[in-house]
Chains A and B, each alone.
Chain A
Amino acid sequence: MAKRSTAGGPPASHAIEHLADIVNADQPLVHRGRFIDLQWLWQIGEVPYFISIQRGMILELVRGPVLMRSHVFAIRGAQESWERFWVPMPRPGFHDLFAMTKSGRASIDGNLQPLMANLRYFKEVLAAPRKLAEDGHHG
């Protein structure tokens, strides 16, 4: 059985634990991100995660806080919002990054140029934990 949070999607700790495996195994996704080489921050509730991308692969994922660690841009939201976002068939308002930013459930800050230049890539990384909710996948 796939692990589920009360919000429906995989628990955040489980999602983050498997994020690199899911992304790095997705060949078209890695190829799409082949020009990306940066560190960004994904804030899930109170916990910041520093994610290093090199040529489309997640090279390192560090649970924060880490003193004086820099990042190019950050995407932030409440833990429950992300756990709703990761449901394979999310409800309206939890189905897209910008649905969440418009409603105030998520926010984006920092230098947005690399995010916008690779928007499909990063949206697919954010959504990658949806695959965990399918039975038998990293269950």
Chain B
Amino acid sequence: MVELEPIVGRYMTLQIGGRSCRIYFEEAGSGIPLLCLHTAGADGRQFRHLMLDPAITARYRVIAFDLPWHGKSLPWEGYEVEDYALTTDFYTAAIMGVANALELDRPVVMGCSMGGRIVLHLAHAHADDLRAVIGLEAADHQQPWYDTEWLNRPDVHGGEVCAAMISGLVAPQSPDRYRWETLWGYLSSGPGVFRGDLHFYRADSDFRDRVHLIDTTRCPVFLLTGEYDFSCTPADTLRTAKDIPGVEAEIMEDLGHFPMSENPEKFREYILPVLDRVARLK
């Protein structure tokens, strides 16, 4: 008989921002809840390697959910007449809604890219509900580097252009197998979804005025950014870190914007020590 992976997927329907949303999530492991947030335009599969790593699952319950419109979470009813645009309020409600629905006791929330942006908000707004946050490729703000109109228009294939835009955010050292697995998330995403996520990222989440309010004694903050990430650059992360007393920030060599999916082996070198630290927190 074939060996089954320990990852288990389930569905649940939650009310988020007044919408009925059927949410897909998957998980593996037991112990401290580690709620993982995928990048813009992708889905929770990005965290599959963490869920298959016994060094992590021995003491963490690793959970990743797909936001509505992403992966196996459907868009809400009536999506066909809407332009999807993610907001800070909806994103926060979705994350805390999942945490509450699964009765997670002070989870660690780890997000990448836009997920790394929102954890900076959560560290302030929900400090006492969370054990810690880990921001991968995270900053309070960053400079845009292209016009998102190109991501969803009838004369350019949406999946192809999304993947080709972000392909250079994967470090050249990352194995081809994982590079193309990472890009598949973008190649196969729904029309306008990546662009709609970038509404949050670019227009509704400039946190430069509030990261200094984060109290890391209540909610510790860890930031990890790949040296090849030119979207959220190492300089963006280090600038953000300067405004958060007590934050721990590290720049990761030979990694890009998708550390957990583009080069899982390399990412372990950086994330395992952070998870060790987090496991020792009270």
B151 to chain A, nearest CB (A): 9
Q: How many angstroms from the CA of A123 to the CA of B156 in the assembled complex? A: 16
* B92 CB-CB contact with A under 8 Å: no
Select which of B143, B155, B163, B171 is within 8 A of A102 by beta carbon.
B143
Cβ-defined contact, A99 with B168, below 8 A: yes
Render A79-97 as a binary contact track against B, CB cut-off 8 A, 1 for contact: 0000000001110110111
Residues of B in contact, count (CB < 8 Å): 21
* B30 CB-CB contact with A under 8 Å: no
* B164 CB-CB contact with A under 8 Å: yes
Cβ-defined contact, B160 with A98, below 8 A: no
Q: How many angstroms from the CA of A45 to the CA of B166 in the assembled complex? A: 26
Tally of contacts, chain A with chain B, CB under 8 A: 50
* A116 CB-CB contact with B under 8 Å: yes
B176 to chain A, nearest CB (A): 13
* B216 CB-CB contact with A under 8 Å: no
Cβ-defined contact, B228 with A117, below 8 A: no
Cβ-defined contact, B164 with A119, below 8 A: yes
Cβ-defined contact, A95 with B164, below 8 A: no
* A113 CB-CB contact with B under 8 Å: yes
Known A92-B230, A101-B145, A102-B145; contact A119-B165, beta-carbon cutoff 8 A: yes
Output the nearest chain B residue to A119 by Cβ-Cβ distance.
B164
Output the nearest chain B residue to A97 by Cβ-Cβ distance.
B168
Cβ-defined contact, A96 with B169, below 8 A: yes
Cβ-defined contact, A98 with B168, below 8 A: yes
Render A36-51 as a binary contact track against B, CB cut-off 8 A, 1 for contact: 0000000000000000
Cβ-defined contact, A98 with B172, below 8 A: no
Select which of B143, B157, B228 is within 8 A of A92 by beta carbon.
B228
Select which of B163, B167, B173 is within 8 A of A96 by beta carbon.
B167
CB neighbours of A123 from chain B (8 A): 164, 167-168
Q: How many angstroms from the CA of A64 to the CA of B196 in the assembled complex? A: 42
Q: How many angstroms from the CA of A97 to the CA of B171 in the assembled complex? A: 13
* A120 CB-CB contact with B under 8 Å: yes
CB neighbours of B178 from chain A (8 A): none
Output the nearest chain A residue to B253 by Cβ-Cβ distance.
A92
Cβ-defined contact, B230 with A98, below 8 A: yes
Output the nearest chain A residue to B226 by Cβ-Cβ distance.
A92
Cβ-defined contact, A117 with B168, below 8 A: no
Task: Kindly identify, within residues 129 to 171 of chain B, every residue whose CB is under 8 Å from any CB belonging to chain A.
Answer: 143, 145-146, 150, 155-157, 160-161, 163-165, 167-169, 171
Cβ-defined contact, A113 with B156, below 8 A: yes
* B262 CB-CB contact with A under 8 Å: no
* B227 CB-CB contact with A under 8 Å: yes
Render A19-43 as a binary contact track against B, CB cut-off 8 A, 1 for contact: 0000000000000000000000000
B247 to chain A, nearest CB (A): 22
Known A116-B156, A117-B156; contact A99-B161, beta-carbon cutoff 8 A: no
Q: How many angstroms from the CA of A123 to the CA of B183 in the assembled complex? A: 15
Q: How many angstroms from the CA of A113 to the CA of B156 in the assembled complex? A: 7
Interface positions of B (Cβ within 8 A of A):
143, 145-146, 150, 155-157, 160-161, 163-165, 167-169, 171-173, 227-228, 230
Q: A98-B145, A98-B230 are known; give 15 further A-B pairs, CB within 8 A.
A: A92-B227, A92-B228, A92-B230, A97-B168, A98-B165, A99-B168, A101-B145, A102-B145, A116-B150, A117-B161, A119-B160, A119-B165, A120-B160, A120-B167, A123-B164
27 contacts between A and B (CB under 8 A): A88-B172, A89-B172, A89-B173, A90-B172, A92-B228, A92-B230, A93-B230, A95-B171, A95-B172, A95-B228, A96-B167, A96-B230, A97-B168, A98-B146, A98-B165, A101-B145, A102-B143, A102-B230, A113-B156, A116-B156, A117-B155, A117-B157, A117-B161, A119-B164, A120-B163, A120-B167, A123-B168
Interface positions of A (Cβ within 8 A of B):
88-90, 92-93, 95-99, 101-103, 112-113, 116-117, 119-120, 123
- Please provide the 4 A-B residue pairs with the shortest distance between their CB atoms, ordered closest to farther: A96-B168, A119-B164, A99-B230, A102-B145
